[in-house]
Structure 1
């Protein structure tokens, strides 16, 4: 074989192997696209063992200490979805980041499964901050927190009483308490609705006290049941959570039906002023039904604070769509870079 032929053969084999490697790269949430570069770690929240993914900066140097960010996922989500995406992207900009499964979800412990308890979610974040502070590569005086959707509400609430958090941000923050009491744009809740909800919760609690099993139902309706009367927020949620775009086997689309009883008296944004003088950043979509919560958080906070509205973005656009996520990450990078 001539040298030229041998060279061409080697080149073709290298190109073929590279193509195979690219083909084998994860391309969806379920395949692990948002966990590329992550290390699986665990920490404790009391008696509950928490599962998390730790992301290190590019060109990581073990001799250095880095600023770090805890990233919290939405209601019903898991760490491999949007929180993993934001953690992954922020790590590329020089931060150590931690995306974790909330207690009762994903690979974390906690019984019963799929319980959405605000008190537990806040303690999850508090424990995650403690875990990061214990790592030798983390500067414990430079820890921030970030939450998406309901994770944003919990994150803002947790920072109000945790001075270890030096800067806090929420992306499309969702106040699960206000949403339960009053609803969101396009999905209002009336006084009669509230009474009916609490009646049903109380009835189920009595059944469980008498020995009935915990009642678990679907969180989002099946896509085949959507129709012209389905609210846009629900349509967009199913398009993310119940399609290859955002579906993950650990996100079970289930919830304990008595959970809203815990949400009814939850007011995470009332004491935003307690975060000051630490800085707050809120990022909302221009078209998001949850925009009002971000405005409320901003209005209740003291300076330094900032509210960024992403033009044209809906709530779920900011979960994963690059044209909306990229400017959000750019803003978050500047915010945490300045304040951590």
Structure 2
């Protein structure tokens, strides 16, 4: 019944989305902890500063840049009348930061908070109508930012990667597998502190077994995630910070309306179920059949299904994208 209700609402949003003009993209900058953040703000052409609309911060998978899956979903949201901001986290893409390609949950959470604060300064946007859309790994960062007090009024997650210590052990080869990765990360961190140089590895590769994501699709496909804007490198010193990051603990502190779109065929669904069970506020979930993790990033059918459900959720919780707000 819940799936039917969500899909019915999503259909209504999809049918109404044709009323909005094609979005325009504005390059924007703001700061986070003294470093410049570069973003793309997707704005419907008929946006009127006198009638502020709801806006979304859209973030993607780990080790990615704004032009990958965040751009796809930001455009989908803008097509449905929402303003949508994507950006490069510090150390990634076009944004500042001396240490590059380093997956740092704490820093990324802070950057989401800075992005929300930036959106609140825009005259086209209702400062009390800002939502967060997290995809894959950044889902954990998004819910943590919201739980810690960022002015995020509603949350949607697509194919969320949500783990705690138990899920980490299930995913990375038990206690021994986790210990090996942490040791490798600690060695890379020690070398960085000693020399000031990063020992970067391939982020993804179909042939190089050193890659963080070995034989993983999307990132290794030129017509998908392997785009010129993406630098295919990763700092292996990230491992301990990533493996000890607990996204699931945020659930008990989360009070914003919540939607999750996932599939049992995608990554670590057990983490998503565990997180959802701990939520005490308004919540909805939509589970799609037989959708792989990476297909949520750019395949037409799952992206449309997820985007329709997400737009319906934000319309219900932030107000319709065509309505005036403050």
Q: Which of 175, 191, 209 in structure 1 is aligned with 2:193?
A: 209
CA distance in 1, matches of 2:40, 2:57: 10
For 1:248, the equivalent position in structure 2 comes to: 227
Out of 72, 76, 92, the residue aligned to residue 59 of structure 2 is 72
* CA distance 1:36–1:182, change in 2 (3 Å): farther
Count of matched residue pairs: 295
Contact 1:172 1:290 in 2 (8 A): no
Structure 2 unaligned residues grouped into runs of 5+: 1-21, 319-326
With normalisation by structure 1, the TM-score equals 0.81
> How big is the shift at 1:234?
5.3
Note if contact 1:58-1:91 (Cα within 8 Å) is conserved in structure 2.
no
Pair 1:48–1:176, CA change in 2 (3 A): farther
1:49 to 27, 36, 45: 36
Contact map agreement 1:285 1:318 (CA 8 A) in 2? no
In our comparison, the structure showing a higher alpha carbon Rg is 1
Residue 172 of structure 1 aligns with which residue? Answer: 159
Deviation at 1:302, TM superposition (A): 1.3
Cα contact 1:68–1:143 (8 A) shared by 2: yes
Distance 1:262 1:224, change over 3 A: closer
Select 1:198's aligned residue among 182, 189, 198: 182
Q: Secondary structure at the match of 2:310?
A: helix
d(CA) in 2 for partners of 1:157, 1:262: 15
Note the C-alpha offset of 1:241: 4.4
Distance 1:241 1:106, change over 3 A: farther
Contact 2:23 2:43 in 1 (8 A): no
Q: Is 1:102 the counterpart of 2:89 in the alignment?
A: yes
Aligned to 1:287: 265
Query: What does the per-residue CA deviation read over 1:177-203, in whole Å, with 9 as the maximum and x for residues that have no partner?
Result: 65983253xxx4221222222222333
Q: Which is bigger in relative contact order (C-alpha 8 A, separation at least 6)?
A: 2
Gaps of 5+ in 1: 1-34
Inter-CA distance 209–76: structure 2 relative to 1 (3 Å threshold): closer
* Alignment CA distance shift 1:143-1:49 (3 Å): same
DSSP 3-state at the match of 1:181: helix
SS in 1 for 2:281: coil
CA contact (8 A) 2:258 2:282 kept: yes
Alignment map for 1:1-340 (pairs within 5 Å)? 37-162=24-149, 164-175=151-162, 178=165, 181-184=168-171, 188-211=172-195, 213-221=197-205, 223-224=206-207, 235=215, 237-276=216-255, 278-340=256-318
- Between 1:291-300 and 1:71-80, the stretch displaced more is 291-300
3-state SS in 2 of match to 1:254? coil
- Is the 1:64–1:137 contact (alpha carbons within 8 Å) kept by the matching residues of 2? yes
The corresponding residue for 2:10 is none
Q: Secondary structure at the match of 2:156?
A: strand
The whole-number CA distance in structure 2 between the counterparts of 1:224 and 1:211 is: 29
Distance 2:123 2:214 in 1: 43
The runs of at least 4 aligned residues of structure 1 exceeding 4 Å deviation read 176-180
